[in-house]
Amino acid sequence: MTKKENFLKGFIKENPLFVLLLGTCPALAITTSLENAFGMGIAFIFVLVMSNTIISLINSFKKLKELIQPVRIAVYIVIIASLVTIVEMIMQAYLPDLYNSLGVFISLITVNCIVLGRAEAYASQNTVSDSVIDGISMGLGYTLALIIISLIREFLGNGTITIWGDLQINLQGVFEFLHITPISFFTSSAGAFMVLGIVLAIMQAIKNSKDAKEKEAKKQEKEVK
């Protein structure tokens, strides 16, 4: 796998949320506004990149790798938990509004399957630079997924799109034009499930049609031969 492929895989091919279906819990809970998705994404990228770096660094020393082998999961969790706590403390000090709206889900990054999964499955077996790229790719892919879900939910549920703080795009005119009110169902957790389901279905449909096309192309090639 080249570095470019490694970087691009997190966006669509191995998107942690849409394809691997990891980390759905915060994705459903905090995607009520675009600002939350941004904040969660930034916190998540920081934790993932740092944990991937540190864990691949530890595993690059053979002796240390052997030493921590029996307790490696515990070591990983200690590292991830302290990184998350650092993010939490910084956010509470400098971004209190975001901290309040994300609430308990910042601390829950610790038990997010993506972070531990990447540490165990990728960072512990690859070089430091590859792990960093993997962290950035997976983090950006997850953020992209959060942004897509939150855009749909905030627009349909509130008729607004909050970019950051007071910077807000008001799109309620669209609803007024159609003579309906925003569908507040989409701000509830049931609406989140529905949006995730629809997006997954669309992704699957695109993938299926691509596969079918490939199959047909192969068939034609055979016939020509």
Q: Least distance to another protein from the beta carbon of 2, Å? A: 33
CA atoms within 13 A on the CB side of 108: 13
Using CB under 8 A, which of the segments 80-88, 134-142, 154-162, 197-205 binds another protein?
A: 80-88
Residue 141 in contact with residue 14, Cβ under 8 Å? yes
Q: Which positions from 50 to 69 touch another protein by CB under 8 A, shown as an x/- string?
A: -----------------xx-
Q: Report the residue from 21, 25, 86, 121 that binds another protein according to the rule CB under 8 A.
A: 86
Q: Confirm or reject binding of residue 90 to another protein (CB under 8 A).
A: yes
Work out which of 21, 25, 78, 202 binds another protein, going by CB under 8 A: 78
217 binds another protein (CB under 8 A): no
One of 5, 13, 25, 89 touching another protein (CB under 8 A) = 89
Cβ closer to another protein: 86 or 212? Answer: 86
Distance CA 80, CA 84 (A): 6
Count of residues interacting with another protein (CB under 8 A): 18
Name which of 75 and 115 has its Cβ closer to another protein. 75
Q: Which of 20, 42, 57, 81 binds another protein (CB under 8 A)?
A: 81
Nearer of residues 89 and 205 to another protein, judged by Cβ: 89
Task: Find the part of the chain contacting another protein (CB under 8 A) among 16-24, 90-98, 118-126, 190-198.
Answer: 90-98
DSSP β-ladder status, 160-164 and 167-170 = antiparallel
Whole-number Å distance between alpha carbons of 28 and 188: 9
Between 86 and 217, CB nearer to another protein = 86
Record the tokens describing residue 48, joined without a space: 């993932």
Q: Is there a contact between 110 and 84 (Cβ–Cβ < 8 Å)?
A: yes
Interacting residues with another protein (CB under 8 A) = 67-68, 70-71, 74-75, 78-79, 81-82, 85-86, 89-90, 92-94, 96
